[in-house]
Amino acid sequence: MTQTGLPNVAVSRNLCRVMTSALCVYDITTGETQDILRTDRHIEAPNWTPDNAALIVNADGRLYRVPFDAPALHVIDTGFATQINNDHGVSPDGATLAICDKTHTEGSCIYTLPVGGGAPQRVTKQVPSWFHGWSPDGARMAYAAVRDGTFCICTCASDGSDEQRLTQGFDHTDGPDYTPDGAWIWFNGEERGTSNLYRMRPDGSDLEQMTDDATVDWFPHPSPNGRDLVYLAYPEGTTGHPGGLSVELRLMGLTGGPSRLARTLFGGQGTINVPSWAPEGDRFAFVHYGEHQA
């Protein structure tokens, strides 16, 4: 869910240092990283389109398409929605885009629109709600929410009907995403100041804690081929999911077990909030941040 991002410009000793965003792709087979786009704008949260043609990111309350064949930020028409945060995702069939916006509501609300752009249609009746994942058949979506004053994980039908609250008792929950077979929903949950990864059945049963280490773990995303899971690991003692820290992207199997380091980078909030795997499951997109002297 959205927090305040990194500042775009910092001034020190009369020198202007401009914060930059690098949109990248990591190959889990080779361990190599490819830069797709570098920009002085603060972009966040890449999605990979199912047609393998582009990435989608958010910046300054809007969504942008970044084609692989000619990388640049192309604004997506989202109608009235101009306060979009970094919780968005493309449906499995590639036809529909879920977004979160608060232009007409007091908190984040989930909407859907055609992937090429168009008028948003409201999904969640209650706010705040922060989209994070589609079910493999596209019939449902999973999201973080606040209900009765408590953070929780919910699902609903793609038209917003049949909301089901799946978690109880956590201090904070976020980042729910389905496994490609639809058998599990992974998410991060905080208890007593420590955030770990969990999985549960789509009805909320069979809850299992999947990490238990010193890092503060967020945003687990299963690969489409069912082999791996990528997540964001903050340093021990981190509160929430801020930006502007040295963080790790880590990989682990979908049945649990030891994780392995993919990348250490400067980022956090905005790096990998939402599902960003390539359709084949061999690569994922992420954003890291830096600065240069203007």
pLDDT in tens, 218-277: 999 999 999 999 999 999 999 999 999 999 999 999 999 999 999 999 999 999 999 999
Is residue 71 a part of any domain in this protein?
Answer: yes
On average, the pLDDT of the chain sits at: 93
The CATH number of residue 136's host domain is 2.120.10.30
Query: Domain span at residue 238?
Result: 44-278
Residue 120, pLDDT above cutoff 70? yes
Is residue 260 a part of any domain in this protein?
Answer: yes
Is residue 84 a part of any domain in this protein?
Answer: yes
Q: Higher confidence at residue 21 or residue 10?
A: 21
Q: Higher confidence at residue 12 or residue 25?
A: 25
Contact in structure between 236 and 215 (CB atoms under 8 Å): yes
Facing residues of 153 across strands?
Answer: 144
Is residue 159 a part of any domain in this protein?
Answer: yes
Report CA dihedral (237, 241, 243, 244) to the nearest 10 degrees.
10
* Phi and psi at residue 177, to the nearest 5°: -150, 140
Report CA dihedral (177, 46, 288, 233) to the nearest 10 degrees.
0
Residue 9, pLDDT above cutoff 50? no
Is residue 219 a part of any domain in this protein?
Answer: yes
Contact in structure between 95 and 111 (CB atoms under 8 Å): no
* Phi and psi at residue 97, to the nearest 5°: -115, 125
Query: Residue 194's pLDDT band (boundaries 50, 70, 90)?
Result: confident
- Residues 35 and 59: their CA atoms lie apart, in Å, by 18
Is residue 19 a part of any domain in this protein?
Answer: no
DSSP string, 198-266: EEE-TTS-S-EE---SSSEEEEEEE-TTSSEEEEEEEPTT--S--SSEEEEEEEEETT----EEEEEEE
Is residue 100 a part of any domain in this protein?
Answer: yes
Is residue 58 a part of any domain in this protein?
Answer: yes
Q: 76-116: per-residue pLDDT in tens?
A: 999 999 999 999 999 999 999 999 999 999 999 999 999 99
Query: Residue 294's pLDDT band (boundaries 50, 70, 90)?
Result: low
pTM of the entire predicted model: 0.92
What does the block give as tokens for 280?
Answer: 């084949």
Q: How many domains is the chain partitioned into structurally?
A: 1
pLDDT on residue 4? 36
